[in-house]
């Protein structure tokens, strides 16, 4: 096609630039959601949270980001309808990246914790339905994704509710909370290490190590994950052994020493949340970018092409830059304003959110980390009674979620016609 013959290099560069811009927006807005609980509960300082997120977000994006990327790249637009219009498909995916990135920039400046998944899915639906045809959208697939935005906060809320209930039962509501914290927290640490390792081995590694020799059966993966879980628990036990009870502080607050023990655990859950977030949300940036590059290379929509490791690498880099340059604003909103967080409450919320995101990433469902984490924080708040929640802040967050989908769609339609006019 003459479009790709004339403009292939320009389109390729635009795809990379817009993909990087979108990844920057994810780092600035969504990663801040993921780390906000750690900062809000004072388990980590802002600097520590940003450093941890930079390492583990990048690792999650690079090692386990390929599965969801497939859904974003080809699951929303009906490839059969787009086969005769590869040019429109390219304009649309470029418009979607630019639209979602622009909306995330606006939201981050205003300190709104919005959903990057909402942004990109809304943008893709907008260009496909208005710019191409209503039939170009796979509405059944969209319904699955939309329903996950309801189920993900619900599931995370239920999991966090019961994790915090288990913490209350095993540790907080006992005669010697400090001794029980040291006894039971290594079990929680094992769960964090085991759970993340399972997904990395079963889903993530195949996108980096193309050799089939590295594929493991479910039982083999369980064995390796159990060993990694034990190593994580061992490191945790060593760190816990260095914490002694502060009886003076415990006179003012019975759980002062216990919360210091949970502070160690939150370092592990913060790492797992960052990894889980990177694996799920990098797809929002690199999915459309991979789609454009695949069409430019082949000239055909729907040509099977694996997401190249360098594309995941670029997405990971963009996320890290966004977090480091602008992540602090939304982190304050999510960590301090929904409900009062302590390390034990923050752990329950982060562990539940990480579990929900990792499961969704493993089955290829692009859920919203924002919705999941807010659901998890709500679950922890509800475990203490509805009075513990700041309903005004929660209402504001919900309102920003509602605006995101039409904002992404509207901007995408605008940019789509702009690209069509420039290149068409």
Tokens of 349: 């919320």
Whether residue 31 contacts residue 318, with contact meaning beta carbons closer than 8 Å, is answered with: no
The model's pLDDT over 373-395, given as tens digits with 9 standing for 90+, comes to 888 888 888 877 676 777 887 78
Cβ(330)–Cβ(29) below 8 Å: yes
SS3 assignment, position 77: strand
| CA–CA dist 152, 26 (Å, integer) | 19
Give percent helix, percent strand, percent coil of the chain, each to the nearest 5. 85, 0, 15
How many other CB atoms are found less than 10 A from the CB of residue 308?
Answer: 15
CA distance 254 to 173: 11
pLDDT higher than threshold 50 for residue 12: yes
Taking residues 394-415, what's their average pLDDT?
Answer: 87
Q: If you average pLDDT over residues 313-318, what whole number do you get? A: 87
More confident residue, 164 or 328: 164
Alpha-carbon span 180 to 199, nearest angstrom? 30
Report whether 75 contacts 120 (CB < 8 A). Answer: no
Q: Are 177 and 258 in contact (CB under 8 A)?
A: yes
Which letter, b or e, does each residue of 318-340 get, where b requires 16 or more Cβ atoms within 10 Å of its Cβ?
A: bbbbbbbebbbbbbebbbbbbbe
The string of pLDDT tens digits covering residues 223-241 is 888 999 999 899 888 888 8
Residue 357's closest CA among 284, 286, 274, 285? 274
pTM for the full model? Answer: 0.80
Cα atoms in the Cβ-side hemisphere of radius 13 Å centred on 114: 29
How far apart CA 224 and CA 217 sit, in angstroms, is 11
CA–CA separation, 131 vs 297, rounded Å? 23
In this prediction, residue 78 has a pLDDT band, given cuts at 50, 70 and 90, of confident
Residue 211, pLDDT score: 44
pLDDT at 62 over 50: yes
Position 175 scores a pLDDT of 87
| Residue 142: how many other CB atoms lie within 10 Å | 18
Cβ proximity of 214 and 205 under 8 Å? yes
The pLDDT of residue 294 is above 50: yes
Give the closest residue to 344 by CA, choosing from 86, 172, 226, 205: 172
Choose among 202, 220, 207, 215: nearest CA to 363: 202
The yes-or-no verdict on residue 81 having pLDDT over 80 is no
- Banded pLDDT at 72 (limits 50, 70, 90): low
Q: Tell me: pLDDT of 367 over 80.
A: no
CA dist 226 and 116 (Å) reads 33
Q: Where are the alpha helices (DSSP H) in 75-138?
A: 79-82, 86-110, 116-126
Contacts of 423 (CB under 8 A, 6+ apart): 3, 7, 11, 87, 91
| pLDDT at residue 261 tops 70 | yes
Domain containing residue 225: 2-423
CA end-to-end span of the chain: 12
Short-list 159, 94, 97, CA closest to 296: 94
CB atoms within 10 A of CB 148: 21
The most confident of the ranges 54-58, 196-200, 397-401 is 54-58
Q: Domain count for the chain, please give it.
A: 1
């Amino acid at each position: 096609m003459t479009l790709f013959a004339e403009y292939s290099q320009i389109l390729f560069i635009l795809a990379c630039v817009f993909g990087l811009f979108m990844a920057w927006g994810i780092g600035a807005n969504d990663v801040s959601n993921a780390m906000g609980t750690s900062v809000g509960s004072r388990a980590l300082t802002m600097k520590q949270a940003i450093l941890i997120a930079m390492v583990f977000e990048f690792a999650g994006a690079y090692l386990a980001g390929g599965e969801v990327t497939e859904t974003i790249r080809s699951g929303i637009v009906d490839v059969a309808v787009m086969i005769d219009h590869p040019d429109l498909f390219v304009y649309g995916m470029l418009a979607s990246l630019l639209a979602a990135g622009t909306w995330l920039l606006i939201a981050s400046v205003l300190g709104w914790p919005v959903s990057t998944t909402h942004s990109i899915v809304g943008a893709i639906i907008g260009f496909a339905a208005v710019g191409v045809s209503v039939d170009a959208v796979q509405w059944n697939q969209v319904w699955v994704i939309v329903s996950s935005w309801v189920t993900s906060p619900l599931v995370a809320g239920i999991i966090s509710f019961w994790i915090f209930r288990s913490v209350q039962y095993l540790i907080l509501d006992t005669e010697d909370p400090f001794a029980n914290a040291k006894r039971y927290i290594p079990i929680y640490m094992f769960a964090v290490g085991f759970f993340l390792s399972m997904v990395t081995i079963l889903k993530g590694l195949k996108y980096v190590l193309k050799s089939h020799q590295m594929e493991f059966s479910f039982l083999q993966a369980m064995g390796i994950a159990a060993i990694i879980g034990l190593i994580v628990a061992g490191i945790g036990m060593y760190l816990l052994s260095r914490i002694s009870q502060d009886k003076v502080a415990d006179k003012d607050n019975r759980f002062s020493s216990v919360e210091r023990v949970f502070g160690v655990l939150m370092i592990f859950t913060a790492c797992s949340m960052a990894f889980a977030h990177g694996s799920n949300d990098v797809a929002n940036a690199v999915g459309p970018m991979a789609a454009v590059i695949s069409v430019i290379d082949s000239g055909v929509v729907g040509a099977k092409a694996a997401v190249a490791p360098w594309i995941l690498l670029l997405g990971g880099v963009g996320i890290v830059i966004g977090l480091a340059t602008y992540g602090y604003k939304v982190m304050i909103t999510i960590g301090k304003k929904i409900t009062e967080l302590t390390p034990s409450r923050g752990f329950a919320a982060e562990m539940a959110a990480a579990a929900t995101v990792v499961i969704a990433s493993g089955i290829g469902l692009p859920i919203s980390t924002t919705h999941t984490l807010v659901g998890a924080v709500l679950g922890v708040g509800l475990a203490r009674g509805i009075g513990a929640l700041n309903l005004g802040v929660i209402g504001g967050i919900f309102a920003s979620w509602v605006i995101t989908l039409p904002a992404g769609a509207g901007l995408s339609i605008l940019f789509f016609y702009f690209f069509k006019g420039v290149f068409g």
